[in-house]
Amino acid sequence: MKVFDQKKDNVFKILSESISEGIVIVNEKQEVVTSNEAAERMFGYGSHELLGEKLDVLIPKEYRSSHPKQVEAFMDKSDPRQMGHGRDLYGLRKDGTTFPVEAGLNPFEVYGNKYVMALVTDISIRKNQELEIIELNVSLEHKIEERTKELQKTIKELKEEVTKRKQAEHKMKESLRKERELNELKTKFLSLVSHEFKTPLSGILTSATLAGKYTETDQQDKREKHLKTIQSKVKYLNNILNDFLSIERLESGKATYKFEIFPLSKVVNEVIYNANMLLKDGQKIKYPSNIDEITVNFDEKILELSLTNLINNAIKYSPEYTTIDVVVVQKQSAIEIKIIDEGMGIPKSEQKFIFNRYFRAENALLDQGTGIGLNIVKSHLENLSGKITFESEEGKGSTFTIIFPTNNNLS
């Protein structure tokens, strides 16, 4: 301590030893002129061992090159500042190890000599803590990421579970609805059967009784007339039963279809033959031309049921001495069949309800019927990629058209 007198030196010593920061003072040549115990301990030197050493011994090699100039420039400026400026600073221990420091430089002048006092703090512990915090943060982020993934997985599983349950609930509701409808259907069937079957059955009974009375050979004509009535009424009842069976199958999801290749004329002949028994006086069915060559790949029973319903309706809702025209048009991969009648037609305001189950138009109520035929024809045809449409004018007649694919791929 050449630069301070004894008293001051002592005061400085007391002060400098009582603070935990290391103090190193260098002269213009950057030689250490004094250091406190904290600095010596920090840099691993013995008491006074640093005196006269170049400042460089406290600075790791890689930071040295630019340092002397910086110190010189700094000495000239003579205002205190913090070293590092955001960079990490390191100190070099006597044993060659380095440690992170924070250093503040304070230039001063005594008796015309310039000095710089460096206040050095060992920040190893803080740095370690910072590192630990960073590591902790990283592992925390990692954990959060993992948890988020787990959570997303759980949410996904939950969503799937919810969807499954919803589907199950929907299925249950659907089957409950079907069951309810089937029950309604059964009730309706019972009441319809009582109404709809009563008249034809009593007709059958009358005809049978009368036919039984004609015992003479020359009364064969009359007997045949009654037998025909019986036949037609049985057919009528049979058709109603078929319709009901269809509804039951459609409703319970048990409707199955069978595709077969068959000549179109086979079904058309059969339906017209049976319909002939229902014709009123003077009614005629005009057989379609050019159908002998047509074969189709379709459900034969459904085609028969559809045509029977349409032709029977045409007969039922047309007066005597009218013609029912059956027209077949072969399309590229579909067949179109039109049933054209000259009957009572369907009132415009009721046309939109005509395919609703049990719906019967106001002007048709005097004729017997259940209101289910068109509904099931539509359902079946749509299930088989077919279609039914109609045009009708009240008092003039109706045209019902069905169209169905001939090369069906369904099985």
Binding residues (CB under 6 A) for ligand ADP: these are 309, 313-314, 317, 341, 343-346, 354, 360-361, 364, 369-375, 398
The total of other beta-carbon atoms located within 10 Å of residue 192's CB is 18
- Asked if 137 and 114 count as a contact pair (C-beta separation under 8 A), the reply is no
Q: Quick one: 27 or 368, whose CB is closer to ligand ADP? A: 368
Q: Which residue is nearest to ligand ADP (CB)?
A: 369
Closest contact distance (angstroms) between CB of 350 and ligand ADP is 7
CA end-to-end distance (rounded Å), the chain = 110
Closest contact distance (angstroms) between CB of 331 and ligand ADP is 23
Closest contact distance (angstroms) between CB of 371 and ligand ADP is 4
Q: Quick one: 34 or 308, whose CB is closer to ligand ADP? A: 308
Closest contact distance (angstroms) between CB of 351 and ligand ADP is 9
Q: Quick one: 35 or 370, whose CB is closer to ligand ADP? A: 370
Q: What is the token pair recorded at 128?
A: 């370690």
- Asked if 395 and 270 count as a contact pair (C-beta separation under 8 A), the reply is no
Q: Quick one: 69 or 352, whose CB is closer to ligand ADP? A: 352
Closest contact distance (angstroms) between CB of 352 and ligand ADP is 12
Characterize the bridge pairing of strands 323-330 and 284-286: parallel
Across 47-112, the runs of DSSP E, i.e. the strands, are 81-82, 89-92, 98-110
Closest contact distance (angstroms) between CB of 296 and ligand ADP is 23
Q: Quick one: 34 or 379, whose CB is closer to ligand ADP? A: 379
- Asked if 302 and 256 count as a contact pair (C-beta separation under 8 A), the reply is no
Q: Quick one: 14 or 190, whose CB is closer to ligand ADP? A: 190
Q: Quick one: 258 or 284, whose CB is closer to ligand ADP? A: 284
**Size (the chain), residues:** 411
- Asked if 345 and 410 count as a contact pair (C-beta separation under 8 A), the reply is no
Place of tokens 């369907």: 346
Q: Please give the DSSP secondary-structure letter assigned to residue 42.
A: H
- Asked if 325 and 338 count as a contact pair (C-beta separation under 8 A), the reply is yes
Which residue from 354, 392, 361 is spatially nearest to 375, judged by alpha carbons?
Answer: 354
Closest contact distance (angstroms) between CB of 262 and ligand ADP is 25
Which residue from 286, 200, 267, 247 is spatially nearest to 374, judged by alpha carbons?
Answer: 247
